[in-house]
Structure 1
Amino acid sequence: MKLWLFRGIALSVPVLFFLLLEYGLRWGGLHQSWPLFIANPAADDYLLTRPDVIKRYFPSGSAVPHVTVEPTFFLKTKADNGLRLVVQGESTTAGYPYGLGASLAGMLDQRLKRTFPERKVEVINTAMSAVNSFALLDFADEIIAQQPDAVLIYVGHNEYLGVLGVGSSYSSSNSAAFNLLYMKLRRLATFQTAQDLYQQWQLPQTQQDTGRTLMARVAQGQHIAFDSDLYHAGLQQFEQNLSLLLDKYQQAGVAVYIATIASNIADQPPFVSEALTAQQQQMLSQIQWPEIRQQLEQMANAQHHAALSYELGQYYRKTQQHSEALLWLTRAKDFDQLRFRAPSAINQQIRQLAARYGAVLVDVEQAFIRQSALGLVGKSLMLEHLHPNVQGYFILADSFYQQLKRQQFAGRWQRVIEPQVAWAQRPLLPAEEFAGAARILQLTSDYPFVPQPQPLVLPAAKDWQQQLGLDYFHGKISWIRMLELSYQGYQQRQDRAMLLKTTLILADALPQHQQLNALAAAMLRQQNRSAEAVFYQQRAELATPR
């Protein structure tokens, strides 16, 4: 009896010491917390997504990616007639390079508000660049706490090079289990303090070259061969995290809509590949001969040769052989050793996991294929390797909208907003589109699109809207100021359609602004859209006058 008592005391001493240390550090203000949702300082009735939530994965003083969540506002207490959807994903889901208006959340929000004018519709964005399935899993409990009616997911491209990915420069381990443990430990004051002390003892870190793009900083040397151990580790990581994520939502009774993902296969050559040999180049000059093509195909498959596969795909594309072109251009992407585009196996996993956990599949990849010449997704819908242009973003959001309609999500759909109407009312201004185009020029002027960074050369603005976009890109004006100046410009030109669009974007960005929301309601009534005006009128009544 005494022996067991002694053992019990011996075991409890370190536990008690740790608890005292943990709560002592918290009491002393040495615990940092980065919740996904925070109070809106301008209006107590609202919460918003925390812009700098990425910091929760990094110790103080370390190099943190310069990425943020574009915040969306939603009621702290969900309305009785509320319809709340939460969007999860990466940079494409977040609407890069255009911002929230092109994002899945932004495109769906106003369309669903028009579809369900009698409901308080909230589409909440949690997507941001640089993250992957680890962040989605980490956010899940906080999302469930907000009582969503559905979660919409578009994810998969950052599994290798995103934060904590198996090939990422923002990860200290290739083990998914270790990274899951790390995310839990980061919530403890004791672990945070130990990390901070370790950072201080280390030699000063080389400062990040802020002139380089995020892709350039994470891409150098991060080559992962097809069928390698790291390649399979990335797939295992994705399956494990997505399984845990979908299981959480299933257990909580939250509907999930998860999409296949699309990328540019037709016009994006592989970033990293074995060079073509002199023999292969000679054979490519004779590719019209069937026996030569057969030999080249055997070489491409045996060597997992991305560049050779791309050349084969382009030959079949040129000769209008659609299925063969799709096959070899897809293999070129899969064999690409710089894994910014998800391999085809990721979409296979998405399909399988959706079926296993009862999630609704949204086949975005097929939607892009249907809208592409010869069924080959390329520059007609993509800006570079995987980010869609505005039309592409609309297709992505419309795919979710149509699947929500087919599933009769939230009951019978009596007011369906047709694509042509939704396209005309998309919540994106020309100034934002021009700023987005400038960001793409900036992105593609650095590695891996070019061997060495090139001077950024931007086109001159052709009108006042583009000038506003250029000023916003250069940081001369804020996003809100850009919208305010756009409003003034459309008012001067008596452009009622654009004036209404700008007003609605501003009202949704500033839900606590009484005058803006009252103005939005009045303008909607003038357009005989009284049912939609109710939402903004009620929000104006809730708001405190500025």
Structure 2
Amino acid sequence: MPAQITSRRRWIFRLTAIAIGFLPLVVVEIGLRWIDGREDSRPSDGFDGTGLFTPVQADQPSGTVTWEISPRRSNYFCHASFVAPKPPNTRRVFVLGGSTVQGRPYASETAFAKFLELRLNSADTDRRHEVINCGGVSYASDRVERILHEVLGHQPDAIVLYIGHNEFLEDRLEDRHGQQHASSAQRWINWAAGKSRAVGVLREVWTGTDLAGSSNRSTDPEGTFFDLQTRLDREGGMRAFRRDSSWRNQVERQFEQTLDRMVRTCRKQRIPLIVCVPASDVVRTPPFKVEPNPSALPSQDAFMREAWQTIVDAETDQTERFRLARNLLEIDSEHAGAHFVLGRAAYDRDPTPESCSDAARKHLIAARDFDVCPLRATTTIEETVRSIGQVASKTSPVQLVDIPRLFDRPPLMRSAIEDDIADPGWFVDHVHPTISGHRRIATELSRTFETWGWFERSNVTEDRYQEVAREHLSTLGEEYYQRGKQRLEGLQRWAAGRSGQTTIEQ
């Protein structure tokens, strides 16, 4: 018994000594967090000039202030402005998302937000409708979430969300600190260190920069949160993408958490919300990067690399190409390149779009989902948007608009084609819709506003919209479309990781 008591006392002494050693760090951490809380007691709404919008002009007699997207954000956003407080008899809609929302490769003048504004104003001439385009190039959901909190302070009558394609572009999660392939213990340590304000201060002192976190206004005095550099913005950026299902799954889970918070925020503020399922082309767009299974045996790895080089060789016989692709999938069921080769072959064999086979669909979707450089929303992200949107719509003014199913028909056909593949005719590249695609999205969005009682559709309002839309497009000029073509070429080079070509030449 005395020996047991002595041993117990020894452990108590050791634990007490450790606790006393950590006590100063705990006190410093609590003190720093208390100071941060005092400095950031107001919500992060961007009203201090570090947000997306900035006040540029005040009208003293009326007491109104004009807000516009800061010129400092012009690398990522198109110009947009509004007046605060909101004028009487005005409805204001903010559209949030990435480059699809912005209207790339063109600009906001032919984005679905603009056509939605034309539709609403044509259908209801008694009110003024503002549809404000907040689409940021390469912006992922975490950045869009901050913009959502900002625009909620500017009297919105509705919010439209179109997100999901940009989730894998930045060094997110542990990879922000170069730890994508770290062990679980290393990841936990880095996560804990990243949460510590004391560690953040030490980093600031050591590096002379602010690394404590961009979501807090006190650590983002210049609004650098809105500036970003994606992996593909760096020379040879494609090399940063490695085949890692664990990392992919973590990003998808983070997207789910972020979208859920955004929906809950709008519900709490009682702001009507439209959530769009992002659409992408899987027929004309091959995977941007292909890698064999990193866990394969050396002999299997050598075979897969040699087989893939034979497949992409233009002189390879088609029969041999398909045989090798099937052999690849027997060894590596997640080989994106082999899936695309077989999926595209099955798709091309179908005599009509209506008869798109299950094999074509399965392989084409898998080629997108297993792309080592995922520049398109995966099936998991699409289903996450559908699930969250459908659940929220049962108890609040939240409406789901399913763009892949909306595009599940050729542009010139009236009836839908139930093959679960968005028709490639709606896209100018891997994710960006054609101008006709943007008009189609705007029409579908307007149906939601009609069900909300914003207007009543009729032949008269439809004719008025068509006329207004024609007049709007006629004012853009040939130069506008030429710039869009140039941006498209640049976008294709960027998406190829500055290598000059995609994995499979189109």
1:41 is aligned to 57
Paired residue secondary structure (1:38): strand
- Equivalent positions of 1:321-470 (< 5 A) are 322-323=356-357, 324-358=359-393, 359-371=398-410, 376-377=421-422, 380-405=425-450, 407-413=451-457, 416-417=461-462, 420-421=466-467, 423-427=469-473, 428-446=476-494, 448=496, 451-452=499-500
1:265 is aligned to 282
- Displacement of 1:129: 0.8
Structure 2: gaps (5+ residues):
1-22, 40-46, 181-186, 212-228, 293-303
1:249 is aligned to 266
Paired residue secondary structure (2:57): coil
- Displacement of 1:390: 1.9
2:154 is aligned to 146
Amino acid at match of 1:286: T
Q: Decide whether the 8 Å contact of 1:270 with 1:333 is kept in 2.
A: yes
Per the alignment, do residues 240 and 224 of structure 1 end up closer, same or farther by CA in structure 2, a change over 3 Å counting? farther
- Displacement of 1:426: 4.7
Amino acid at match of 2:377: A
- Equivalent positions of 1:48-59 (< 5 A) are 48-51=67-70
Paired residue secondary structure (1:365): helix
| Aligned-partner Cα distance in 1 for 2:262–2:33 | 34
Amino acid at match of 2:319: Q
Per the alignment, do residues 245 and 294 of structure 1 end up closer, same or farther by CA in structure 2, a change over 3 Å counting? same
- Displacement of 1:11: 6.9
- Displacement of 1:213: 9.7
| Aligned-partner Cα distance in 1 for 2:266–2:456 | 24
Q: Decide whether the 8 Å contact of 2:158 with 2:272 is kept in 1.
A: yes
Per the alignment, do residues 252 and 388 of structure 1 end up closer, same or farther by CA in structure 2, a change over 3 Å counting? same
Identity rate, percent: 20
| Aligned-partner Cα distance in 2 for 1:403–1:20 | 42
Write out per-residue CA displacement over residues 451-491 of structure 1, whole angstroms, 9 at most, x where no aligned residue.
Answer: 2499xxxxxxxxxxxxxxxxxxxxxxxxxxxxxxxxxxxxx
2:337 is aligned to 307
1:77 matches 2:116: no
1:222 matches 2:240: yes
1:89 matches 2:102: no
Paired residue secondary structure (1:394): helix
Structure 1: gaps (5+ residues):
1-6, 24-30, 55-65, 203-211, 455-546
- Displacement of 1:296: 5.0
| Aligned-partner Cα distance in 1 for 2:485–2:446 | 26
| Aligned-partner Cα distance in 2 for 1:349–1:253 | 22
Per the alignment, do residues 274 and 322 of structure 1 end up closer, same or farther by CA in structure 2, a change over 3 Å counting? same
**TM-score (structure 2 length as normaliser):** 0.68
- Equivalent positions of 1:1-16 (< 5 A) are 15=31
Amino acid at match of 1:234: V
Greater RCO between the two (CA within 8 Å, min separation 6)? 2
Q: Decide whether the 8 Å contact of 1:267 with 1:378 is kept in 2.
A: no
| Aligned-partner Cα distance in 2 for 1:403–1:184 | 44
Paired residue secondary structure (1:122): strand
| Aligned-partner Cα distance in 2 for 1:16–1:296 | 58
Amino acid at match of 2:496: P
Q: Decide whether the 8 Å contact of 1:333 with 1:343 is kept in 2.
A: yes
Write out per-residue CA displacement over residues 264-292 of structure 1, whole angstroms, 9 at most, x where no aligned residue.
Answer: 21111111113765567689843899xx6
2:19 is aligned to none
| Aligned-partner Cα distance in 1 for 2:246–2:367 | 19
Per the alignment, do residues 266 and 88 of structure 1 end up closer, same or farther by CA in structure 2, a change over 3 Å counting? same
- Displacement of 1:364: 1.2
Q: Decide whether the 8 Å contact of 1:446 with 1:453 is kept in 2.
A: no
Q: 2:142 aligns with which of 134, 139, 152?
A: 134
Per the alignment, do residues 165 and 404 of structure 1 end up closer, same or farther by CA in structure 2, a change over 3 Å counting? farther
Per the alignment, do residues 287 and 316 of structure 1 end up closer, same or farther by CA in structure 2, a change over 3 Å counting? farther
- Displacement of 1:113: 1.6
Q: Decide whether the 8 Å contact of 1:299 with 1:305 is kept in 2.
A: no
Amino acid at match of 1:273: V
Write out per-residue CA displacement over residues 134-162 of structure 1, whole angstroms, 9 at most, x where no aligned residue.
Answer: 11221222222222111001100011114
Paired residue secondary structure (1:370): coil
- Displacement of 1:379: 5.2
- Displacement of 1:409: 4.1
| Aligned-partner Cα distance in 2 for 1:32–1:77 | 17
Q: Decide whether the 8 Å contact of 2:164 with 2:278 is kept in 1.
A: yes
Paired residue secondary structure (1:148): coil
- Equivalent positions of 1:519-530 (< 5 A) are none
Q: Decide whether the 8 Å contact of 1:263 with 1:377 is kept in 2.
A: yes
Amino acid at match of 2:70: P
Q: Decide whether the 8 Å contact of 2:409 with 2:423 is kept in 1.
A: no
Q: Decide whether the 8 Å contact of 2:493 with 2:499 is kept in 1.
A: no
Write out per-residue CA displacement over residues 260-319 of structure 1, whole angstroms, 9 at most, x where no aligned residue.
Answer: 111121111111113765567689843899xx699559528x430111111111111121
Q: Decide whether the 8 Å contact of 1:98 with 1:433 is kept in 2.
A: yes
Q: 1:317 aligns with which of 337, 342, 347?
A: 347
| Aligned-partner Cα distance in 2 for 1:216–1:296 | 35
Write out per-residue CA displacement over residues 173-192 of structure 1, whole angstroms, 9 at most, x where no aligned residue.
Answer: 7799x99x98998xxxx979
Paired residue secondary structure (1:93): helix
| Aligned-partner Cα distance in 1 for 2:194–2:142 | 11
Amino acid at match of 1:258: V
Per the alignment, do residues 224 and 254 of structure 1 end up closer, same or farther by CA in structure 2, a change over 3 Å counting? farther
| Aligned-partner Cα distance in 2 for 1:401–1:351 | 19
Q: Decide whether the 8 Å contact of 1:140 with 1:245 is kept in 2.
A: yes
Paired residue secondary structure (2:319): coil
**TM-score (structure 1 length as normaliser):** 0.63
Q: Decide whether the 8 Å contact of 1:224 with 1:339 is kept in 2.
A: no
- Displacement of 1:197: 6.9
| Aligned-partner Cα distance in 2 for 1:278–1:17 | 56
Q: Decide whether the 8 Å contact of 1:130 with 1:158 is kept in 2.
A: yes
Q: Decide whether the 8 Å contact of 1:313 with 1:325 is kept in 2.
A: yes
- Displacement of 1:399: 2.6
| Aligned-partner Cα distance in 1 for 2:494–2:32 | 53
Write out per-residue CA displacement over residues 85-113 of structure 1, whole angstroms, 9 at most, x where no aligned residue.
Answer: 11110011111121111223222222222
Paired residue secondary structure (2:342): helix
Q: Decide whether the 8 Å contact of 1:394 with 1:423 is kept in 2.
A: no
| Aligned-partner Cα distance in 2 for 1:166–1:369 | 34
Amino acid at match of 1:424: R
Amino acid at match of 1:221: R
Q: Decide whether the 8 Å contact of 2:407 with 2:423 is kept in 1.
A: no
Q: Decide whether the 8 Å contact of 1:160 with 1:166 is kept in 2.
A: no
Give the count of matched residue pairs: 407
Write out per-residue CA displacement over residues 201-233 of structure 1, whole angstroms, 9 at most, x where no aligned residue.
Answer: 99xxxxxxxxx998342843232536x110110
Amino acid at match of 2:238: Q
Per the alignment, do residues 82 and 268 of structure 1 end up closer, same or farther by CA in structure 2, a change over 3 Å counting? same
Q: Decide whether the 8 Å contact of 1:167 with 1:222 is kept in 2.
A: no
Q: Decide whether the 8 Å contact of 1:161 with 1:168 is kept in 2.
A: no
1:120 is aligned to 128
Per the alignment, do residues 75 and 329 of structure 1 end up closer, same or farther by CA in structure 2, a change over 3 Å counting? same
Instruction: Give the alignment's Cα RMSD to 1 decimal.
Output: 4.4
Amino acid at match of 1:229: S
